[in-house]
Structure 1
Amino acid sequence: MGKINGCLKCLFIFFNVISAIIGCGLIYVMVRLQIYSSQLAEYVDTSMAWGWVFAIGVLGISILGIVAACTEKLIILRIFAAFMGIGLIIMMIFGIVVVVFRNKVKDMFDSTSAEKAKSYIEDDKARGMLEDIQKTLYCCGLLSYEDWNTTIPNSCDCDLAVGGGYQPSGASGYECISRPKGSSGPDQIFKQSCRDTVFWWFNIIFQVMMGFFFGLAVTALLGLLVSILMIHQVRRHDSGGGASMAMKSY
């Protein structure tokens, strides 16, 4: 009979196999992203490097956990527990950073004034970007359609979106209203502002990231607790306390 409870060992190995599969999936994603890296921003190398470190780390630690459970070596179990403790701290820090950054982005969006919106629209490059956003996310104006004054562009055309001229992209939904009197442009325009719609998308991304990091933190905590229990069983066995006790069934 082994030093570690058989059921506990099998459960531990199973979850590490799942983690290893996830690690392989992350590596595959990084390989695919590497193909398009030349088309990304100049800081992409740093981001890709951290992605590779994370993906390889997940795979490596998972393999270490499997080896630790199979060999029942105290030193390997301790190394795995140390990695779980470090991973728990890092994932908690990343999760908190995402929460803080999300709040800063929200404050930045909320503090956008009409003057900033006007200067944004007056810039040709920014104006073109805003029009692309309007077509994609079904919105009009940075703060509202009033940002365009009396000349509303065709990218705010709500009738064209309903008629199939624009392809839906999963935006938070849109509502059509009549064009204000005294203005030129489409008869029906989007009611939603692009600021609210863009932040809606950002908020979804932040929520996914928070769930990801805090979920990994919980997983690391469970891995740490299980590895500590396994270390206790191995030490108990090596100290002459006998084979590991069978788990009770209730």
Structure 2
Amino acid sequence: MGYAQLDGCGNCVKYAMFVTNLIIFLGGLVLVALGIWSITDKAFANQLLGTNLYSGSIYIMLTMGIIVCFISFLGYFGSIKEIRCLLVAYFICVFLIFVTMLIGGILGYVFRGKIETTLENAMLASLKHYGNNRAVTDAWDETQTRLQCCGVNSYRDWDFKTPDTCCRETAPGVRQSCQDVTQHSPIIMYTNGCLNITKKLVKEHAVIIGSAGIIVACILILGMIFSCALYKKIDE
């Protein structure tokens, strides 16, 4: 199968597919970068979410990014070397990835309301494990410190065992004990609950990752179109 077998139109399709796969590769790198960022930067609240859907979706997106990068090389060699079996394998793999991302997006949209309800119930249930479960304790301390919030809906959720992380630092590294703070000291204690802030955080993160996934999925459609066109042009 030599390069001379392609006419001018065929060569245009060939190099269009090459460029498309370069963009797909870059898109895969973006998905990988977003997945790593999500895992390292937002993992502190995972213990409070009450579901593995959020962390699971991040790992799926990270895996998809790695697979997309690999598949782009398959498309590159299939187009440059004009190997029809590689183009067929490329089309099948890209189609399966596209369907997976599409189904994931639909499920995320359908279950978004349920996830919000689950989040509130899980956060309320985790309060009683504070101080007894190390993972939950660390998650609450990290969440309240980083998001500058207290409790689920307000500091009153803690009753008489308000954690010190509900209070602001009076100096770098110095935090007043919340046991000594009353409701008449709103400047020292965080008054906003963590629920709405966490919801907003998860939604913003989901929008970023979801948007990146949609863009890559659209580019994958171009990859499928060009692979079909090039397949027909080879040995025509």
Is 1:86 the counterpart of 2:96 in the alignment? yes
Shift of 1:123: 4.5
Mapped to 2, the partners of 1:76 and 1:132 lie a distance apart of 49
Query: For residue 231 of structure 1, what is the aligned residue in structure 2?
Result: 231
Which structure is higher in helix share? 2
Higher relative contact order (CA 8 A, sep 6+): 2
Aligned residue among 180, 185, 194 for 2:183: 180
Shift of 1:13: 0.8
* Conserved? CA contact 2:129–2:137, under 8 Å: no
Aligned residue among 98, 120, 132 for 1:125: 132
Shift of 1:18: 4.1
1:209-250 Cα offsets, whole Å, 9 max, x none, are 32233233212212112222223333xx62xxxxxxxxxxxx
Mapped to 2, the partners of 1:56 and 1:153 lie a distance apart of 41
Is 1:210 the counterpart of 2:202 in the alignment? no
* Conserved? CA contact 1:102–1:203, under 8 Å: no
Is 1:12 the counterpart of 2:17 in the alignment? yes
Query: For residue 166 of structure 2, what is the aligned residue in structure 1?
Result: 156
Shift of 1:100: 3.9
1:189 match: secondary structure:
coil
Mapped to 1, the partners of 2:87 and 2:183 lie a distance apart of 69
Query: For residue 197 of structure 2, what is the aligned residue in structure 1?
Result: 197
Q: Show structure 2 runs of 5+ residues with no match.
A: 40-51, 175-180
RMSD: 4.1
* Conserved? CA contact 2:154–2:193, under 8 Å: yes
Shift of 1:186: 6.8
Q: How many residues align?
A: 202
Instruction: Using the aligned pairs only, state the percent identity.
Output: 20
| Counterparts in 2 of 1:194 and 1:93: CA distance versus 1, 3 Å | same
1:126-181 Cα offsets, whole Å, 9 max, x none, are 683434421221001222122234665432224x27x5558xxxxxxxxxxx9524
Mapped to 1, the partners of 2:126 and 2:93 lie a distance apart of 50
For 1:120, give the aligned amino acid.
L
1:99-124 Cα offsets, whole Å, 9 max, x none, are 345432212235x49xx848824742
Mapped to 1, the partners of 2:193 and 2:87 lie a distance apart of 54
Mapped to 1, the partners of 2:66 and 2:161 lie a distance apart of 53
Q: Show structure 1 runs of 5+ residues with no match.
A: 34-42, 167-177, 239-250
Shift of 1:193: 0.5
Instruction: Identify the range of structure 1 (137-146 vs 64-73) with the bigger mean alpha-carbon deviation.
Output: 64-73
* Conserved? CA contact 1:89–1:217, under 8 Å: no
Aligned residue among 49, 71, 74 for 1:61: 71
Shift of 1:92: 0.8
Larger Rg: 1
Shift of 1:87: 1.9
